[in-house]
Amino acid sequence: MKFFKIGLTLSILILALQTHALDRTQIADTAENVTPLLIGQTVPNSTLQTVDGDPVSLKALTMQKPTVLIFYRGGWCPYCNRQLSGLKNIEGQLDELGYQILAISPETPAQLQQQKLQTKFSVTLLADPDLEAISGFGIGFYVPDEQRTTYKSKWDISLTSDKTSGTAVLPAPAVFILDTKGKVLFSYVNPDIKTRISPDLLYQAAKLSL
C-alpha cells in the first residue's frame, strides 16, 4: 500500500509538471503555477548561507551524501515547523540509509539563528535570502502586496523580496531527494501550505531511491 501511494504521488506530480514548459528560474505569479524541477533533472548550484552567515555551496553539500532537501517558508510557519519536527521520527532511519537532511528557507541567517535557539531541529538549516535555490528549483512565487502587509501588521513577519521587482517571494513547500551528483530522484511539491508529505512516506521514498 505504501509503494502504491508513492507511485501514485509520483505519477500525479509528473503529469502535472509536464504540462509546464516555462523557464524554471522565473518566479511564478501564484503557488499553483510553480514549475519545479522534474525527476531525473540535475539541480542548479546555489550559494546559500549557514545559520552563522557563512556562504556555502549547495553543490558542495550535496556531493557529500545523498540528500533529503526540504524547502520551507520560515520558522514563523506552524505547518513548516510541524513538518520539520516530524523528521525526528525518521532521522535515525534516514541516517542509516546514508542520507543527510537539509532545510532551506528564504529567511536570513539571523532569523535562522533565532529559530535554532527556539527549536532543536535535527536538520541543517540554510538561508536563501537571495532566492537562488528557490528560483533555481522552480518553486518560488510572488506574494500579493496585501498579503505581505497582513503578514507584517498581524504577525510581524517580514518576507524576503525579489531584488529585481521588490515583490515578496515565498517557496511552495517542497521536498526533493537528490543523489551525490545532484540528480533529482524524488520530488513532492504541493501549493497547499497545509498539506505536507508524511514522515513515513518520505522514508519509503528515500529507501526506494537508493
Question: Which pLDDT does position 115 carry in this prediction?
Answer: 72
Please answer whether residues 83 and 158 qualify as being in contact, where contact means their C-beta atoms are separated by less than 8 angstroms: no
What are 85-118's pLDDT values in tens digits? 899 899 999 999 999 999 999 999 988 887 765 5
Query: Please, what's the b/e burial string for 159-179 (b: 16 or more CB within 10 A of its CB; e: otherwise)?
Result: bbbbeeeeebbbbbbbbbbbb
Using alpha carbons, select from 156, 171, 126 the residue that is nearest to residue 31: 171
The C-alpha cell that represents 112 in the structure block: 535562522
Q: For residue 35, which amino acid is it?
A: T
Residues of the chain with pLDDT > 70: what percent?
85
Query: Please, what's the b/e burial string for 120-155 (b: 16 or more CB within 10 A of its CB; e: otherwise)?
Result: ebebebbbbbbbbbbbbbbbbbbbeeeebeebeeee
What are 191-205's pLDDT values in tens digits? 999 999 999 999 999
Strands (E), the chain: 47-49, 55-57, 67-71, 100-105, 124-127, 140-142, 169-171, 174-178, 184-189
Q: For residue 19, which amino acid is it?
A: T
Q: Which domains does the chain possess?
A: 2-209 (3.40.30.10)
What are 16-62's pLDDT values in tens digits? 444 344 455 689 999 999 999 999 999 999 999 999 999 999 999 99
Q: How far apart are the first and last CA of the chain?
A: 20
